[in-house]
Amino acid sequence: MITLIFSDASPRYLQIADLLRQRITRGQWPLGEKLPSLELLVEEFGVARVTVRQAMELLTREGLVSPQQGRGTFVTGQPAQQKWLKVHTTLDELARTYRDDKPEMVSSEESLATAPLRPADGTPAERYVYMRRVHSKNAQPYSVINIYLDERVFSKNPKGFRSETVIPLLTAMGDAAVAHAHQELTIGTADMEVAGLLRVPVNSPVAEVRRIFTDAAGRVIYLGEVTYRGDFIHLQMTLK
């Protein structure tokens, strides 16, 4: 029997259903495979029989498994692939993604603010325009973005920066705007506010990406703090 550490954020049957769903996704249980009996799963997970039954009923409603009288339960479907959102490792790829697959901006806030910069980021601009946005696809929110844009850069195209995604507009300005760019990714969990915006349980896994763009003088013209739903993100890097 394996020892599972259950979270208090959601019912145990949902957590077990997610584990079983992952086994189907990874191919551990391929299409047509007969699942272990209810008794074996109860023994494996160390939970009540009703908990495993609820998890199996959920997968049945999703069309992933099908119980057959006298034969057992079989895998009959595959979970929908949600990890469509790739974290790009070059600025050109990132800008191209936003140009080709424009997200729906569910909400947006705007004000003047001081950017939370670190000493190694570069020289701060005099003032930043702060914008907070929720990006969505097919009515499903997948990221929350805090944007700090140098007010002088913002003033060159305020209508565009307010209505479109910022990065393609910045890259279209050429080296006069972005001379250097870097980003870092951290795995974290959703706090109460972010969880509400992304429609996920509190403490759900998220990917936090911090992007810094500087101009030729080393001035930080863009700071982007992006929080992605963990179940949407896909990180792929070429190593050679």
Mean pLDDT, the chain, rounded, equals: 84
* 14-38 pLDDT, tens digit each: 888 888 988 887 788 999 999 999 9
Residue 47 has pLDDT above 70, yes or no: yes
Least trusted range by pLDDT, from 109-113, 199-203, 213-217, 220-224? 199-203
pLDDT for res 127: 94
* 107-151 pLDDT, tens digit each: 667 888 899 999 999 999 999 999 998 888 777 888 899 999 999
pLDDT for res 80: 65
Give the mean model confidence (pLDDT) for residues 49-57: 94
Sorted by where each starts, the structural domains of the chain and their CATH numbers stand as 12-75 (1.10.10.10), 85-235 (3.40.1410.10)
- Quote the CA–CA distance of 82 and 75 in Å, as a whole number: 19
pLDDT for res 146: 93
* 64-95 pLDDT, tens digit each: 999 999 899 999 998 765 554 556 566 777 77
